[in-house]
Amino acid sequence: MQPLAPGDELEPGLRFTNASTELGLRLTFLVDERDEVHVEVGPIELGLRHAARSERLSFAYRDGGADHVDQKVGLRVCQTVARHVGAREAEVLERLSEHTEATDTQGTARIREIHSTRLLELAGLPNERFYTLSPYLGCLIGCRFCYAQSRLDPMRALLRLPQVPWGSYVDVRVNAPALLERELRELPRHVIKFCPIVSDPYQAVEKRFELTRQCLQVIARAEDPPPTLIMTRSTLILRDLELLREVPHAWVGASIPTLDDEVRKHFEPRAASVPERLDMLRQFKRAGVQRCVVVQPMLPGDPIALASALADVVESVSIGVLRGEMGAKQDFADPRFSHARGEDWQRHKAFALRDALEERGVNVWVSELPPAISSWKSVTG
């Protein structure tokens, strides 16, 4: 976007506010000081859906995590950005390739140690801002239905990194703790969410690098620690149980899309078992740490039994449906599970689970944060 900097207008009524590579290359704009629009940039050769294109890049739009931008506004923003970016895209793409060659010293790019210039990413709607924090990019747990791959693969293509299967690569932000320490001093205070959409904070490489642990230590010793939510599919988080007890306003969450562990083995073979995740939450409950669960997507299994199991370990649950099969088309093609790919089935099971949870006194939430954290924001913000 050079020579523009965040805060500058690209044209009257179109203000450039942010750039991020957390979920692919995303540029954020404020239209007429009212509507926030994200423009997602990808290489044209991937054939991504787009509203505008330059010679080598495609541009698509969305806002605040929802696809309800006015089409005329979205088209106008993408076309304007395409004209601006296209003027120097060859130079920028060449520089990206040179950077990748310098960091990929082994020629495999499966586990890369990288230095980032920013860690905390502002997210959420304007009335519910929070930061996402990802010490790693890419995830070795590699749930094939995970929609993060649709965002990260275009960025890897821009960097001329190999297009390898989701779950086989991870970028390690080795300077994450130092960045976090600085940003906690300099940035406005918001809730921090360790974001498993980009990568699980307790995937296998955490045993070696301990970046999640170090980031939690930074938060624990901060002058005014913000509420912190950490989501995972791994029981490695139990290693940090005592540390999380020291973090004020800490929340621990798990993704549990089914109670049937045979189904889990089919869709999430490298994640912790369902009984292990429930036991992990039970241990944090005994330790007095706040807990929540995300059920997304809905996978085959008894929603009533799942509601009963969750009611035993948490007080709030978020429910989401399948957001595209991604790399799990073969998994869903299995005759035992093919019915679960349908939109009607996903909604029916989600409604059944919601009703069963509410009958058991469990709060069902639909935003990005559990209700108690949202309440904290409204009181202190």
pLDDT digits (tens, 9 = 90+) for 273-312: 999 999 999 999 999 999 999 999 999 999 999 999 999 9
Give every strand in the sheet of 363-365, ordered side by side.
121-123, 130-133, 192-194, 228-232, 250-255, 290-295, 316-319, 363-365
Look-up of token digits 């005014």: 224
For 226, residues 6+ apart whose C-beta sits below 8 A from its C-beta are 184, 189, 190, 191, 192, 219, 249
Q: Which residues of the chain register pLDDT less than 50?
A: 65-67, 101-109, 377-381
Domain with CATH 3.20.20.70 in the chain: 106-380
The CA-based dihedral angle spanning residues 156, 161, 167, 168, taken in that order and rounded to the nearest 10 degrees: -170
Could you give the CA distance from residue 203 to residue 271 in angstroms, rounded to a whole number? 9
* CA atoms of 152 and 21, how far apart (whole Å): 9
Q: Which CATH architecture best describes the domain 106-380?
A: Alpha-Beta Barrel (3.20)
| Count of CA atoms in the C-beta half-sphere (13 A) of 154 | 26
Read off the pTM. Answer: 0.81
For residues 280 and 271, is the Cβ–Cβ distance under 8 A? no
Taken as a whole, the chain contains a residue count of 381
The identity of residue 214, as a single letter, is Q
